[in-house]
A = this chain, B = another copy of it.
Amino acid sequence: MTERRVVFTPSGKRGDFADGVSLLDAARRLGVDLDSVCGGRGICGRCQVDVAEGAFAKHALDSRADHASPWGAVEQRYVDKRGALPPGRRLGCQAQVSGDLVVDVPPESQVHRQVVRKRAEEHPIEVDPVVRLHAVAVREPDMREPTSDFRRLQEALAEQWSVAEAEADIAVLRTLQKALRAGDWTVTVALRNGREIVAIVPGVALEAYGVAVDIGSTTIAAYLCDLASGAVVASVGAMNPQIRFGEDLMSRVSYVMMNPGGDAELTRAVREAIDALIGEAAAAAGVARGAIVEVTLAGNPIMHHLALGLDPTELGGAPFALAIDGACEVKARDLGLDVAPGAYVYALPCIAGHVGADSAGVVLAEAPYLADEMRLIVDVGTNAEIVFGNRERLLAASSPTGPAFEGAQISCGQRAAPGAIERVRIDRATLEPRFKVIGCDLWSDEPGFSEAAAGLGVTGVCGSGIIEAVAELFLAGVVSADGVIDGTLAARSARIETVGRTFAYVLNEGPPRLLIYQTDVRAIQLAKAALYAGAKLLIEHRGAAPDRITLAGAFGAHIDPVYAMALGMIPDCALDKVASAGNAAGTGARIALLNRASRAEIERVVRGIEKIETAIEPNFQTLFVEAMAIPNKADAFPNLARRIDLPAPTATPDGGRRRRRGG
Contact = CB atoms under 8 A, between A and B. Distances in A.
Given A311-B177, A318-B143, A149 B324 contact: yes
A146 B324 contact: no
A171 B144 CA distance: 43
Interface residues of A, number: 44
A310 interface: yes
Interface stretch (A89-97, A466-474, A608-616): A608-616
B176 A323 contact: yes
B151 A321 contact: no
A173 interface: yes
Given A170-B309, A170-B330, A311-B178, A613 B143 contact: yes
Contacts of A144: 613, 616
Contacts of A321: 141, 146, 148-149, 177
Contacts of A142: 319
A348 to B, nearest CB: 14
A314 interface: yes
A322 B147 CA distance: 7
A328 B310 CA distance: 28
Contacts of A202: none
A66 interface: no
A325 B153 CA distance: 12
A66 to B, nearest CB: 46
A352 interface: yes
Contacts of A178: 311
A334 interface: yes
Contacts of A326: 148, 150-151
Interface in A157-204: 169-171, 173-174, 176-178
A353 B145 CA distance: 10
B352 A146 contact: yes
A146 B334 contact: no
A78 interface: no
A443 interface: no
A143 B334 contact: no
Contacts of A613: 143-144, 146
A329 to B, nearest CB: 9
A437 interface: no
A611 B146 CA distance: 7
A449 interface: no
Interface in A350-405: 350, 352-353
Nearest to A318: B143
A416 interface: no
A620 interface: no
Interface string A604-627: 000000010101100000000000
A308 interface: yes
Contacts of A310: 170, 173-174, 177
A151 B142 CA distance: 50
B320 A170 contact: no
A323 B143 contact: no
Contacts of A334: 170-171
A267 to B, nearest CB: 10
B324 A143 contact: no
Nearest to A614: B143
Interface in A196-247: none
A330 B333 CA distance: 14
Nearest to A615: B143
A339 to B, nearest CB: 16
A328 B170 contact: yes
A623 to B, nearest CB: 18
Nearest to A313: B177
Interface in A278-331: 308-311, 313-314, 318-326, 328, 330
Contacts of A615: 143
Given A173-B310, A311-B177, A146 B320 contact: yes
Given A146-B613, A616-B144, A151 B325 contact: yes
B325 A148 contact: yes
A325 B147 contact: yes
Contacts of A169: 330
9 contacts: A143-B318, A146-B319, A146-B321, A146-B613, A149-B324, A150-B324, A170-B328, A173-B308, A174-B311
Interface of A: 141-151, 169-171, 173-174, 176-178, 308-311, 313-314, 318-326, 328, 330, 334, 350, 352-353, 611, 613, 615-616
Given A147-B325, A177-B313, 16 more contacts: A141-B314, A141-B320, A143-B319, A143-B320, A144-B616, A145-B611, A146-B352, A147-B322, A170-B308, A170-B310, A170-B330, A174-B310, A177-B310, A177-B311, A177-B314, A178-B311
